[in-house]
C-alpha cells in the first residue's frame, strides 16, 4: 500500500470515527445566539431558564443547551437545543439564569441574563411586597403562584426591593445581573448549590477511545451452523 492510499485510509477512518463520536442531531433545533429566542418561543408571560449546558462527541464536538420554559398559566416545558461553541461558552456561567423573557402586559421582550423569576418580581398580578422584621421589603408570590419559588430554584431566597431596582437597571443597560451578592448563575451561592443535585443536569459519560476503535474496525466472526436435512 503506497503512502497516498495509507493517508486516504487514515483520513476516512478519522472522519468515520469523528462522525460516530458526534451523535446525529439533525432533528434538534439549532440556536445561534439569543436573538433567535423571540421567534422560537411564543406566549406571555414566559421565562426561559437555562438548566444545563453540555457537549457530546469525541473529535467533533456538538454543543447543547437545556432550557426550562416557565409559562405563567400552564405547566413548564423542557427543550434541548444545539448551539455553536461561541454561544455555548458565553453561557458557561449562566446555568440557572433566565436568558429570555416576555412580559404579558405589553409583550416587552428581553434577552439580558437575569436571575430566574425576575419577570414576575414587582408585578402586583403575581405577588406583593411584605415588610420583614428587619424592616426591608421582600417579594412574596400570591398563594396561587407560590409554586414559582420552586420553579425558579429560589430555595428559601426572597428578592428584596433593592434587587428589583437592580434588575430594572441591568435590563435597561443590557448587562447580566447575578443577584445582589452573586446568588445566581453557575457559580452562584444558591443556583450553584442546587445545580449539584439538579435532576436536569446531564450526567457526563467518558468515552474509551481504544474500545470504540476496536469495535469500529473489528470484523464479525463467522459461526458455523448445523443444518438438519430431513429426508
Question: What would the mean pLDDT of 201-223 be, rounded to a whole number?
Answer: 49
Residue corresponding to grid cell 497516498 = 4
Cα distance between residue 222 and residue 201, in whole Å: 43
Cis status of the peptide bond prior to 45, with omega within 30 of 0: yes
77-92-110-164 Cα dihedral, nearest 10 degrees: 100
Confidence of residue 223 (pLDDT cuts 50, 70, 90): very low
Q: What is the average pLDDT value for the chain, to the nearest integer?
A: 83
| Confidence band of 226 (pLDDT split at 50, 70, 90) | very low
H helices present in the chain, as ranges: 3-21, 37-40, 85-90, 148-151, 161-173, 191-196, 209-217
Express each pLDDT in 128-176 by its tens digit: 999 988 889 999 999 999 999 999 999 899 999 999 999 999 999 999 9
The pLDDT of residue 224 is above 80: no
- The DSSP bridge pattern shows strands 137-141 and 30-31 to be unpaired
Asked whether 95 and 56 are in contact (CB, 8 A), the reply is no
Q: pLDDT digit string (tens) for 47-62? A: 999 999 999 876 788 9
Q: Identify the pLDDT of residue 3.
A: 65
Cβ atoms within 10 A of the Cβ of 167, count?
21
The pLDDT assigned to 204 comes to 56
Q: Which residues is 125 bridged to in the sheet?
A: none
CB atoms within 10 A of CB 106: 8
pLDDT at residue 70 tops 90:
yes
In percent, the amount of the chain with pLDDT more than 90 equals 61
As a whole number, mean pLDDT of residues 55-70 equals 88
Q: Where are the domains of the chain?
A: 25-208
pLDDT, tens only, 87-130: 999 999 999 999 999 998 888 999 999 999 999 999 999 999 99
Q: Which residue has the higher pLDDT, 196 or 148?
A: 148
User: In whole angstroms, what is the distance from residue 165 CA to residue 171 CA?
Assistant: 10
Residue 105 is predicted with a pLDDT of 82
Q: Do the Cβ atoms of 99 and 50 come closer than 8 Å?
A: yes
Whether 219 has a pLDDT exceeding 60, the answer reads no
pLDDT for res 227: 40
Pairing of strands 30-31, 77-83: parallel
Is pLDDT larger for residue 224 or for residue 55?
A: 55
Amino acid at each position: 500500500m503506497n503512502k497516498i492510499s495509507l493517508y486516504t485510509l487514515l483520513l476516512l477512518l478519522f472522519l468515520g470515527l469523528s462522525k460516530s463520536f458526534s451523535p446525529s442531531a439533525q432533528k434538534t433545533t439549532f440556536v445561534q445566539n439569543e436573538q433567535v429566542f423571540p421567534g422560537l418561543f411564543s406566549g406571555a408571560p414566559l421565562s426561559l431558564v437555562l438548566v444545563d449546558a453540555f457537549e457530546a462527541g469525541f473529535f467533533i464536538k456538538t454543543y447543547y443547551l437545556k432550557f426550562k420554559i416557565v409559562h405563567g398559566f400552564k405547566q413548564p416545558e423542557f427543550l434541548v437545543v444545539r448551539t455553536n461553541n461561541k454561544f455555548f461558552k458565553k453561557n458557561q456561567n449562566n446555568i440557572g439564569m433566565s436568558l429570555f423573557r416576555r412580559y404579558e402586559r405589553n409583550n416587552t421582550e428581553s434577552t439580558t441574563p437575569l436571575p430566574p423569576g425576575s419577570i414576575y418580581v414587582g408585578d402586583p398580578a403575581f405577588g406583593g411586597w411584605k415588610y420583614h422584621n428587619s424592616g426591608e421589603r421582600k417579594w412574596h408570590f400570591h398563594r396561587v403562584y407560590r409554586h414559582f419559588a420552586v420553579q425558579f430554584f429560589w430555595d428559601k431566597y426572597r428578592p428584596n426591593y433593592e434587587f428589583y431596582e437592580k434588575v430594572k437597571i441591568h435590563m435597561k443597560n443590557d448587562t447580566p445581573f447575578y443577584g445582589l451578592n452573586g446568588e445566581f448563575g453557575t457559580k452562584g451561592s444558591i443556583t450553584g448549590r442546587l445545580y449539584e443535585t439538579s435532576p436536569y443536569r446531564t450526567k457526563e459519560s467518558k468515552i474509551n477511545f481504544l474500545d470504540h476503535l476496536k469495535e469500529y474496525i473489528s470484523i464479525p466472526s463467522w459461526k458455523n451452523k448445523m443444518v438438519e436435512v430431513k429426508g
